[in-house]
Amino acid sequence: MTLQTVYLNGDFMPMEQARISPLDRGFLFADGVYEVIPVYQGQLFEWEAHYQRLENSLAGVFINNPMDNQAWLSVLQQLISLHPWQDQFIYLQISRGQQIPRDHLPQADLIPTVFAYTNPLKPLADSIISHGIKVITLEDIRWQRCDIKSIALLPNVMAKMQAQAAGVDDVILVNQQGYVTEGSASNMMMVKAGEIITPPLSAHILPGVTRQVIEKIANRHHIPFIEREIHQTELDSADELWLASSTKEALPICQLNGQPVADGQPGAIWKQLRQLYQNYKIQTRTRSTI
């Protein structure tokens, strides 16, 4: 097992030595935000997009960014270089900091707690490439600011547990009006008649970086990419359904609420997109090393 080094409040240290106060507002109030960033062949993927979203999340909850873009890059690049894995994913979290005594109202002078660590990023399992994943639809019971990447993830955790209890891999969340929002930790896409359709950006979904990359790839390759609301009744006649996130890229959903999606196999557009996505990863890496 590789010993993991983590970054905490200015220092790199073995994971076992990292300590955070029990009065940290992240622990007591889930008062903080996070990012998950893939690393391919030792290089951060779509750093600027992740950094921009981090800034937006921090601004959305009124926490000052404790570091600028270059300082973050330097920390994350050191963290990457301290681990042997070619492909990794970084988790970084900023909470509002420790406050004594506990009070809902934050003190003005708190020092944010900054934590980052990295993990090996595994390729998609062969079984998923061949057979996809199974999902159920579930009511979206989250708050009205899902565009903020908040560490308050209890509804997402509960959704994952409900998926497991139902014997499936994940969920498609549906709002009270019957419209799809996203997955428990991913954006949702539907393919119908050759078009990739996904709910528009709003306060009700996270602006996924993978979603943005898929949009860019689709535009480059003249695959229609349409942003519009998707009613849950449309899912039953979809040609393909996907969930998209940084660590999984696009995942084909092959069973929905116990029924096969189309012929129950990963679809042609997903296969094409998957290949284009791999090419995009190589192209962006080559560009950033020039």
Residues carrying an active site annotation:
149
Distance of alpha carbon 211 from alpha carbon 203, whole angstroms? 15
Contact residue for ligand PLP among 43, 93, 99, 210 (CB under 6 A): 210
CA dihedral 63, 67, 73, 74 (to 10 degrees): -150
With contact defined as beta carbons under 8 Å apart, do 189 and 196 qualify?
Answer: yes
Q: Does 198 bind ligand PLP (CB under 6 A)?
A: no
Q: Does 267 bind ligand PLP (CB under 6 A)?
A: no
Contact residue for ligand PLP among 180, 246, 267, 273 (CB under 6 A): 246
> Quick one: 110 or 215, whose CB is closer to ligand PLP?
215
Q: Does 223 bind ligand PLP (CB under 6 A)?
A: no
> Quick one: 31 or 182, whose CB is closer to ligand PLP?
182
Q: Does 181 bind ligand PLP (CB under 6 A)?
A: no
Contact residue for ligand PLP among 116, 159, 191, 209 (CB under 6 A): 209
Minimum distance, C-beta of residue 187 to ligand PLP, in the bound complex (Å): 5
Q: Who's near 73: CB < 8 A, 6+ residues apart? A: 44, 47
Minimum distance, C-beta of residue 113 to ligand PLP, in the bound complex (Å): 20
**What character string, x for contact with ligand PLP (CB under 6 A) and - otherwise, covers 38-77?**
----------------------------------------
Q: Does 185 bind ligand PLP (CB under 6 A)?
A: yes
Q: Does 245 bind ligand PLP (CB under 6 A)?
A: yes
Distance of alpha carbon 207 from alpha carbon 187, whole angstroms? 8
Distance of alpha carbon 139 from alpha carbon 153, whole angstroms? 15
Residue type at position 24: D
Tell me the CB-side half-sphere exposure of residue 149, using CA atoms within 13 A: 25
Partners of 245 in the beta sheet? 249
Is omega for the bond preceding 106 within 30 degrees of 0, making it cis?
no
Q: Who's near 148: CB < 8 A, 6+ residues apart? A: 33, 56, 57, 60, 61
> Quick one: 33 or 254, whose CB is closer to ligand PLP?
33
Residues near ligand PLP (CB under 6 A) are 36, 182, 185-187, 206, 208-211, 244-246
